[in-house]
Amino acid sequence: MLVRVSALVALLAIVALGGGLPASTGSAKEDLEVVNAFDILSEMRDGKAVERRHVRIVGGLDLRELDGPVQSPIKIVECEIQDPIRMENVTFGGPVSFEETTFENMVLFSSVRFNDSADFSFATFEDTVFFDSAFFSKEAEFCGTRFGRDAYYSNAVFCGTCDFNFTRFAEEYVLFDGASFLGNAHFEDAEFGRWTNFYGSRFYEVADFLLATFPGRSFIANVTFDGDAKFAGVEFMSFAEFEDSHFEGDFLLYGSTISYMKLNGTTFGENSTVHLNNTEIEGFVIPWRTMENHLVFRDEVYMGLVENYKRLDWFQDADECYYHYRKLAQERKVIGWSKAIDYIAWLSCGYGVRPDYTLAWSFSIVLVFGAVFYLGKGLLQYERPDARPGERKTGTESAETDLQARIKDVTFPLEGDPIQEFSNVSPSPEYPSLGEAMYFSSLVFIAQAPADYLALGRYKYLVIVEGVLGWLMLALFLVALGNLMIR
């Protein structure tokens, strides 16, 4: 019984405390000390350090009224700034911190210069903010910052590390066009707006967009990445345009989701690599030749790209990608039957996407066998096609007798003189010319041996071999050509 009473008392105490928390928080927010912006401006004029915490600042904070640079260190933390801030072309000589501060109105930091660190971590900009052409000499901290409307960082210069990790931009315009990032740029788990623009910007060190989200169109064209471009785990929910960009380091896209990405005109450094493993791709527009020597080998990556090119109706790029994949896969296999079969598939038909390989082999086989038949004197022609009509026997009986005599005479011993042994037959069987040997080889390759030619001795087996090769080459050619024609 005592235990139950104690538990009930504890529960009531928790409820009482829980119910009291919102009231105390709300009252604290309502009871913020109000500070006039004029007092802060006076401290800046006198060169005093400005420090405010958990206050509400009212009145226009216009630093353009000050003469010369602001040397005072500024630390305004967990505050609310009610009215617009005007700081265009102002130079801050000391550190500036607006951590966890809420800006309820428009903020203009255009062409401002921070000679020391600038910290806006976990700040909230409820209206449009301008940092265009701003110069950050040291660290620029925007970690966890929230933007209620447009954010302008056009032509800004970040000399040190800039931290936009966990930043939440509004579903509006986010502009970093022409910006220069001289140090490492961190945008991990950042969420951009419906239009994100990095056109013409340059990342001199690592550009880290790990797990970032681009819900709208992202225009990252004509951008130079001198260091690694880390877009691993990024979700591109709309068009991502990387045209005419240059990647000197590695381009990491593994684990990303790409709705449609255009990389026309993109170039890569000599040692640059592209990582696409575990990437979901619906549309990836980049000529295969651009990426051929930079893609990191993974089976699923190559096959996914082949399907991607087919969806784009880029069939030549699909064939090139597939051919390159099979070639690399063959090189990685250990010596065995599988490697041997792959090697034959490569030489004979280019893995089914090079019918010209089969044609070249077909012509080569015909020429080689024709030359062998001619040079080895392995053929006899029963009667020359250009024999005069008067030399030919007429009548069925004479023809049969003459044919039997020829068949009998061609079985002479190899060590005998064939010309002398055929001297009694009119007209005498002769060795064919080079052109006739090629004609015989062509017919054997594509159909069957002509009846007015006879292969001698071991050359009979070459006729069989060439016939088999002809059927194989024909089948391979039809398969490879069919792949092209069906598409």
Phi and psi angles of residue 443, each rounded to the nearest 5 degrees, phi first:
-65, -40
442 and 365 in a single domain? The answer is yes
pLDDT (tens digit per residue) in 237-272: 999 999 999 999 999 999 999 999 999 999 999 999
Cα 76 from Cα 60, distance rounded (Å): 15
The answer on pLDDT for 200 being more than 90 is yes
288 and 361 in a single domain? The answer is no
304 and 409 in a single domain? The answer is no
154 and 213 in a single domain? The answer is yes
Instruction: Tell me if 155 is assigned to some domain.
Output: yes
262 and 186 in a single domain? The answer is yes
Higher pLDDT: 467 or 179? It is 179
Number of domains composing the chain = 2
Least Cα distance to 268 among 299, 224, 231 occurs for 224
The answer on pLDDT for 225 being more than 90 is yes
Least Cα distance to 308 among 294, 291, 332, 293 occurs for 291
The per-residue pLDDT for 399 is 41
Name the band, by pLDDT with cuts 50, 70 and 90, for residue 406.
very low
Higher pLDDT: 338 or 97? It is 97
Higher pLDDT: 290 or 332? It is 290
Average pLDDT score, the chain: 82
257 and 125 in a single domain? The answer is yes
Strands 74-77 and 280-281: unpaired
Top-ranked range on mean pLDDT: pick from 21-25, 196-200, 416-420:
196-200
Of 306, 326, 346, which marks where a domain is finished? Answer: 326
Instruction: Tell me if 401 is assigned to some domain.
Output: yes
The per-residue pLDDT for 91 is 93
The answer on pLDDT for 477 being more than 60 is yes
231 and 145 in a single domain? The answer is yes
Instruction: Tell me if 463 is assigned to some domain.
Output: yes
User: Is residue 222 helix, strand or coil?
Assistant: coil
Of 280, 304, 326, which marks where a domain is finished? Answer: 326
Name the band, by pLDDT with cuts 50, 70 and 90, for residue 354.
confident
364 and 321 in a single domain? The answer is no
* Burial annotation 143-172 (CB, 10 A radius, 16+ → b, else e): bbbbbbbbbbbbbbbbbbbbbbbbbbbbeb
Higher pLDDT: 442 or 10? It is 442
DSSP-assigned letter for residue 250: -
Name the band, by pLDDT with cuts 50, 70 and 90, for residue 28.
very low
Instruction: Tell me if 459 is assigned to some domain.
Output: yes
Cis amide bond preceding 389, omega within 30 = no
pLDDT (tens digit per residue) in 132-181: 999 999 999 999 999 999 999 999 999 999 999 999 998 889 999 999 99
pLDDT (tens digit per residue) in 272-307: 999 999 998 888 999 999 998 999 988 889 999 999
Least Cα distance to 225 among 265, 185, 177 occurs for 185
Higher pLDDT: 189 or 69? It is 189
288 and 156 in a single domain? The answer is yes
Instruction: Tell me if 287 is assigned to some domain.
Output: yes
pLDDT (average), residues 181-198 = 96
Q: Which domain holds residue 466?
A: 356-387+396-476
371 and 316 in a single domain? The answer is no
User: Is residue 460 helix, strand or coil?
Assistant: helix
311 and 446 in a single domain? The answer is no
pLDDT (tens digit per residue) in 73-116: 999 999 999 999 999 999 999 999 999 999 999 999 999 999 99
